[in-house]
Amino acid sequence: MSPPKPNKPRGWELKFRTYFQVMGEEKALEMLVSIETDPPPASPPVGRSRHSLRCLAVASIICGCSCLGVMALVFAVKAEERHKAGKPEEALFWGHRARRLALTSIAVWFGVLVLGPLLLWLLSYAIAQAE
């Protein structure tokens, strides 16, 4: 039989030891109680729902500039994987990037749809004025 492994100190034990070394027992207990009673910060959400970034990316592929939409879909998948892995900061970074690319894709496509006919009208007007 192998000898039992020593228990690793828990998070609150490490905090208590640190506070105890720095400031006395009573103040350390007060600090520890205030820290333990505060709710932990919530992980930042990647999107409103789990698949909202993917849906936005797919919509940007269909209704937008497809090359930017594909990149948005890749980043949305990366964000979801990082979120599942418990890395909320990276998930937030990739989620923002995916959302930005998806919206840019849709904006570029609408820009082309609006500017194309406008430029054709301007060209025909310029040709008519030249004659």
Q: Identify whether the C-beta of residue 44 lies closer than 8 Å to the C-beta of residue 88.
A: yes
Let me know whether 71 and 109 are in one domain: yes
Q: Which two tokens stand for residue 5?
A: 């492994």
Mean pLDDT of all residues belonging to the chain? 77
According to the model, what pLDDT value does residue 64 have? 86
Q: Does residue 3 lie within any of the structural domains?
A: no
Judge if 118 and 72 occupy the same domain. yes
24, HSE (Cβ side, Cα atoms, 13 Å): 3
Stronger pLDDT, 109 or 3, i.e. the higher one: 109
The stretch 45-59 carries a mean pLDDT of 72
Total count of domains within the chain: 2
87 within some domain: yes
* pLDDT surpassing 50 at residue 46: no
Beta strand spans in the chain (E): none
Q: Residue 58's closest CA among 101, 113, 107?
A: 101
Is 63 found in the same domain as 35?
Answer: no
H/E segment holding residue 120:
helix 88-130
Q: Is there a domain that residue 45 lies in?
A: no
Q: What is the DSSP secondary structure assignment for residue 122, as one 8-state letter?
A: H
The 10s digit of each residue's pLDDT in 62-111 is 888 889 999 999 999 999 999 999 988 999 999 999 999 999 999 999 99
pLDDT at 7: 62
| Longest distance between any two alpha carbons in the chain, whole Å | 101
Percent above pLDDT 90 for the chain? 38
Q: Is the pLDDT of residue 61 over 60?
A: yes
- The pTM of the full predicted model, rounded to 2 decimals, is 0.56
Kindly state whether residue 47 falls inside one of the protein's structural domains: no
